Amino acid sequence: MKNSPYLYYNWYKMSYQNKKIAEAAEKLKAELSKTDEPQSILRSPLLKSLYAEIPTLDPKERGAFGKEINTLKAELEKLIAARDDEAEALPLIDVTAPFDVNVTSDAQPGLLPTKDGSVHPLMQELDTMLEIFYRMGFEAVESRQIDDEHHMFDTLNFPEGHPARDDFDTFTLHEKDSKGRPLIAPAHTSTMQHRVLKARKADLEDGKPLAVVVPGRVYRNEDLDARHEHTFYQLEGIYISKGVTVGNLMATLKEFMTAYYQKEVEIKTQPFYFPFTEPSFEFAISCPFCDKAGCNVCGEGWIELLGCGLIHPNVLKAAGIDPEIYTGFAWGIGFMRMAMIKYDINDIRYFQSGNLAFLRQFK
């Protein structure tokens, strides 16, 4: 940084009656003009020695001497503040000039080649998953980063005060919704179900099925470890039409898993509880790497991947869809876990760590 004439002008304006203080001021001025740490001037041994001299002076001299030292310190503080705030004036630069058609190539900036960058592995895997669902007739709707309790709980058959609400250890904001409740960082992509059902209800009335997948980022107050993150990604699936059964749900998920892992898989389910589906299931597939023999990926031959079920009649009713006419299914996939299994990654935190050595493996 260049020294400002303004600084020197103020220093020359200083005048001290005591010769020792005047000399100290000149020395401190010189130090300030050279140092890269202006605040260090206030800790200078020279300044400290002046204060230490006060008790040794004749009582009649102490007042004037101390006042001048305080004046000097105050001036130093002002100059240091000016030094910190000082901005060197530079000529304006035309940022488009280097790219002018008349500029020779050797004068143009050297841009990094595209081979030095790549799509994040999670986005690569999401694109792969979405492409499979597109081929199956689904369309994609992006989830939200901030939502409300109405879509997080009310429309998904979570009664007010229901203990199932406590299973979602959510992050909340200071901002409130229309009922005075805190807005929420969504803990699952199911917050989009009600919106999707209402927006696509006309398709059902026109005789078309409602088939939508919802990718999104979700948040939970989790303790971080190799299998848990406070911020992760889900892929919600929703399908509604006439006469939809559990068999349709299982066939859809089996087809997707086989396409994603590029190997025929078996499926296994067991009953579970979700307020927004009835019946509800935990869904597992046979390990695509060891054919159920047991390995470091699956442990005992099966890999639990997601929760799913038939959409609860109350969820359909909340969106104005008659459950006596239409039925449907929904699921929620943690696609970070899907990618971990596919590539035998043992720590979910790698994906968002910024570890380039890890990320460059997926270029």
Domain of residue 334, residue span: 122-362
Q: What is the mean pLDDT of residues 311-315?
A: 96
Query: 98: Cβ–Cβ under 8 A, 6 or more apart, which residues?
Result: 107, 108, 109
Summarize pLDDT for 270-280 with one digit per residue, the tens.
999 999 999 99
Mean pLDDT of the chain: 84
Q: Are 64 and 72 a contacting pair, CB within 8 Å?
A: no
Q: Flag whether pLDDT at 86 surpasses 90.
A: no
Answer yes or no: is pLDDT of 20 > 90.
no
* Whole-number pLDDT of residue 3: 43
SS (H, E, C) 8-69: HHHHHHCCCCCHHHHHHHHHHHHHHHHCCCHHHHHHCHHHHHHHHHHHHCCHHHHHHHHHHH
* pLDDT > 80? residue 231: yes
Let me know whether 72 and 127 are in one domain: no
Is 8's pLDDT higher than 50?
Answer: no
Provide DSSP, 294-363: --TTTSSSEEEEEEEEEEPHHHHHHTT--TTT-EEEEEEE-HHHHHHHHHT---GGGGGS--HHHHGGG-
79 compared with 227, residue with greater pLDDT: 79
Which uninterrupted H or E stretch holds 197?
A: helix 193-205
Q: Is residue 329 part of a domain?
A: yes
Q: Are residues 159 and 285 in the same domain?
A: yes
| Distance of alpha carbon 291 from alpha carbon 285, whole angstroms | 10
Tally of domains in the chain: 2
Rounded Cα distance between 96 and 330, Å, is 51
Q: According to the model, what pLDDT value does residue 198 have?
A: 94
Give the pLDDT band of residue 4 (cuts 50, 70, 90).
very low
Domain boundary residue among 85, 103, 138? 85
Residue 109 lies in a domain: no
Q: Are residues 75 and 215 in the same domain?
A: no
Q: Is 262's pLDDT higher than 50?
A: yes
Tokens matching residue 292: 């159920």
Angle at 321 between CA 316 and CA 326, to 5 degrees: 85
End-of-domain residue from the set 25, 57, 85? 85
Would you say residue 196 lies in a domain? yes
Residue 112 covered by a domain? no
CATH number for the domain harbouring residue 296: 3.30.930.10
Q: How far apart are CA 343 and CA 148, in angstroms?
A: 35
The whole-number pLDDT of residue 270 equals 92
Q: Are residues 179 and 315 in the same domain?
A: yes
Nearest to 215 by CA among 125, 275, 297: 125
Q: How confident is the model at residue 1 (pLDDT cuts 50, 70, 90)?
A: very low
What is the distance between the terminal CA atoms of the chain, rounded to a whole angstrom?
42
What integer is the mean pLDDT of 231-251?
94
Do the beta carbons of residue 308 and residue 276 sit within 8 Å? no
Residues 209 and 343 occupy one common structural domain:
yes
* pLDDT tier for residue 232 given thresholds of 50, 70 and 90: confident
For 157, the token pair is 């058959």
Summarize pLDDT for 133-188 with one digit per residue, the tens. 999 999 999 999 999 988 988 899 888 877 767 766 788 888 988 888 889 888 88
Residue 113 lies in a domain: no
Classify each residue of 179-196 as buried b or exposed e, where b means 16 or more C-beta atoms within 10 Å of its C-beta: eeeebbbbbbbbbbbbbb
Is-contact 120 354, C-beta < 8 A? no
User: Do 58 and 151 lie in a common domain?
Assistant: no
Arithmetic mean of pLDDT, 41-60: 86
Structural tokens at position 116 = 């030095």
Q: 327-333 and 231-241 as β-strands: parallel, antiparallel, unpaired? A: antiparallel
Does some domain include residue 52? yes
Per-residue tokens: 253: 């998920």
Domain shared by 158 and 48, yes or no? no
Give residue 95's pLDDT: 66
pLDDT at site 330? 97
Whole-number Cα distances in Å, 46 to 22, 23, 53: 12, 10, 11
Are both 126 and 76 inside the same structural domain?
Answer: no
Residues 62 and 146 in one domain: no
In a domain, 208, yes or no: yes
3-state class of 85 per DSSP?
Answer: helix
- Which of 41-50, 82-91, 106-115, 352-361 is predicted with the least confidence, judged by mean pLDDT? 82-91
Could you tell me if 128 and 73 lie in one domain? no
Same domain, 78 and 155: no
Together in a domain, 165 and 74? no
Q: Return the pLDDT at 9.
A: 36
pLDDT at 290: 82
